[in-house]
Amino acid sequence: MSEIALKKLVKQLGSIRGRHTELVTVYVPAGYSLHEVSTQLKSEQGTAENIKSKPVRKNVVSSLEKIIRHIQLYKKTPEHGLALFCGNVSEKEGAADIQLFPVEPPEPIKTKLYWCDQKFVLEPLEEMIKEKEVYGIICLDKSEADIAILSGKKILPMVHFDSIVPGKSRAGGQSSLRFARVREGMLQDWLKKVAEAANKLFGEHKEVIGIIISGSGPVKEFFIRDNYMHAEVSQRVIGTVDTSYTGEFGLHETVEKSGDLLKESSVIKEKKLLQRFFDELHKPHGLVAYGVREVINALEMGAVDTVIVSEGLDMKEVEYECSQHGLQKKFVFSDRKAQKCEQCQQTMKVLGEREVIESFEEKVKGFGTRLETVSSDTREGQQFLYLGGVGALLRYNI
Ligand SMILES: [Zn+2]
């Protein structure tokens, strides 16, 4: 499962609440024997038979049954392990709708867990998604500069420079004006050098969604004010942080002090993207498309720069089979899965389904198109969802 699909699923699983302690979570670490897990779960099933409340007992036992049966489908443990979530998701009291959500994650599972609760245990998966928010740090003053990549909680130092820019106090005997000029020139060269390294690094690391400029003193402000970096890189700057140190201490201090900045930045990024979308939408010939059909058409013409999909969109791509007219795929809202064949009006059989986002992940391949998801937590995000929840920024008018 891709990260983007996992992100959506985690959100969905996080919203499920059991009526009782009856939602079952199982984590199987990479390399761990599924056979052993299966044996353990069978014994847990025996324990669950002792649960006093009859409906709870029934739900837990059936969930375990479903999980065990699913595990038996595997010949061996998937490369990164396996996470299984199963329980009664019915919103009606007394009704049972036991559903299983298997996850083969994009990164190795390290936790081994069997847990029964009113909610699913999602932290190990949430960690995997969080890691994907990648930021850049440029920590500098007039004497040294460090450039690092922040991936989740990990700081990866990439570049370190020491400068030869002297302090403001000059050696005796020099003309103060001349000294100031020389110093100014050296400072500019220094900032150019830092900017060149930043351009190169962040030019290569496109996954860096935001860059923080930190350091003690005003040098970081000059660095931003005088546009030393390429526009494409400086656009990603999300703010500055004052630190007491530079060097490795400075990098750590930057991370400690940028909590709010990082939280805001993913929201801001989303807002900016949607603002661009709505700006284009309001122009007479705006470079924009919306609605699943329109976006796919534009995509297949190679006209799409960025596809935007709302995380709030409750739509699936379903594969159907009509006994007379064969296979067909349709995008339908989750509660309207029963569909008739347009040609013969027969109700079709559902063969399989996947999230819209997964479908787009596949479709954007080969077109150099970016795929972005947005939440529906912001006002713009809500508007976008009302508009259908799927949109595209175009490269040219179609
Ligand atoms: Zn038909």
The CB-based long-range contact list for 96-103 (8 Å cut-off, 24+ gap) reads: 96/55, 96/58, 96/59, 96/62, 98/59, 98/62, 98/63, 98/66, 100/63, 100/66, 100/67, 100/70, 101/9, 101/13, 102/70, 103/1, 103/6, 103/9
Q: How far is the CA of 326 from the centre of ligand 1 (A)?
A: 7
CA angle 82, 121, 154 (to 5 degrees): 80
74: tokens are 């595997």
Compute, in angstroms, the gap from residue 349 CA to the centroid of ligand 1. 11
CB atoms inside a 10 Å sphere around CB 73: 8
Instruction: Provide the pLDDT for residue 395.
Output: 92
The Cα–Cα gap between 268 and 142 comes to 30
State the pairing for strand pair 315-322/349-355.
antiparallel
Taking alpha carbons only, the member of 378, 386, 381, 371 closest to residue 295 is 371
The pTM for the full model equals 0.52
- Dist. CA 346 → ligand 1 center (Å): 6
Tokens 């994907």 belong to residue: 132
**pLDDT recorded at residue 180:** 84
- Rounded-to-integer distance, Cα 242 and Cα 256, Å: 11
Cα(261) to centroid of ligand 1, in Å?
54
Residues of the chain under the 50 pLDDT cut: none
DSSP E strand stretches across 299-376: 304-310, 315-322, 326-333, 349-355, 370-374
Structure tokens given for 82: 């396996």
What superfamily does domain 280-394 belong to in CATH? Answer: Ribosomal protein L30/S12 (3.30.1330.30)
Q: Concatenated DSSP letters for 210-255?
A: EEEEEESSTHHHHHHHTT-S-HHHHTTEEEEEE-S--HHHHHHHHH
Take residue 289 and report the two structure tokens written for it: 């498309």
Q: 340 CA to middle of ligand 1, Å?
A: 8
Measured in Å, residue 295 CA sits from the centre of ligand 1 at: 26
> Which residues touch 131 (CB under 8 Å, ≥6 apart)?
107, 151, 152, 154
Q: Is 103 helix (H, G, I), strand (E, B) or coil?
A: strand
Q: How many CB atoms lie within 10 A of CB 39?
A: 12
What's the gap in Å between 343 CA and the centre of ligand 1? 5
Q: Can you tell me which residue has the tokens 């470079």?
A: 287
**pLDDT at site 174:** 63
Q: Where are the domains of the chain?
A: 3-128, 134-257, 280-394
**Partners of 315 in beta bridges:** 333
What does the pLDDT look like over 137-195, one tens digit per residue? Answer: 999 999 999 999 998 767 899 999 998 887 766 566 567 888 888 888 999 999 999 99
pLDDT at site 330: 92
| Cβ 290 vs Cβ 390: under 8 Å | yes
User: Considering only CA atoms, which of 215, 254, 212, 250 is closest in space to residue 234?
Assistant: 212
Cα 320 to ligand 1 centre (Å): 10
Architecture (CATH level 2) of domain 134-257 = 2-Layer Sandwich (3.30)
Chain centroid, CA 20 distance in Å: 31
* Distance set, CA 306 to CA 110, 126, 276, 295, 364 (Å): 34, 25, 11, 10, 9
- 342 CA from centroid of ligand 1 (Å): 7
Domain 3-128: give its CATH code.
3.30.960.10
